[in-house]
Amino acid sequence: MGEVHAAFAWVAIGINGFASLICFVYNFSKRPIDLVFRSVVSVAVVAMLIQVGLGLARFGQGIEPGSIHMFYGFVILFTFTFVYIYRVQFEKRPALGWALVLLFTMGLGLRAVVNFAESF
């Protein structure tokens, strides 16, 4: 499961970066929110949640990744939790909100990968 978690990290980071770019395009072109937008955002969120879930599963197996690496995973979970809590505010400018959130989670994922690599 370790190789899956390590490899899927880059997949989740890439998907979040690409989805953030798509959200920025929707925002700046003033395109209405449609099924494509919702699908791209959903895939990005699910990919990052799967990645965090894989990390939690590895932690459950007794593998200690380091406190900073885990910190970034928990911040990703809290970020999506706060987005859910403030979902009404996201309705005003959803494309910009999701673009920033997905860019932020992409950065958190990158930091988690870098900190994990530096700890060994």
Structural domain harbouring 85: 2-118
Provide the domain count of the chain: 1
pTM across the whole model: 0.90
How would you write the pLDDT of the chain (120 residues) with one tens digit per residue? 778 888 899 999 999 999 999 999 999 999 999 999 999 999 999 999 999 999 999 999 988 887 888 999 999 999 999 999 999 998 899 999 999 999 999 999 999 998 876 654
8 Å CB contact between 87 and 51:
no
Q: What does the radius of gyration of the chain's CA atoms come to, in whole angstroms?
A: 15
Cα separation of 53 and 89, whole Å? Answer: 27
Q: At 116, which amino acid appears? A: F
8 Å CB contact between 76 and 105:
yes
8 Å CB contact between 30 and 55:
no
Q: At 48, which amino acid appears? A: M
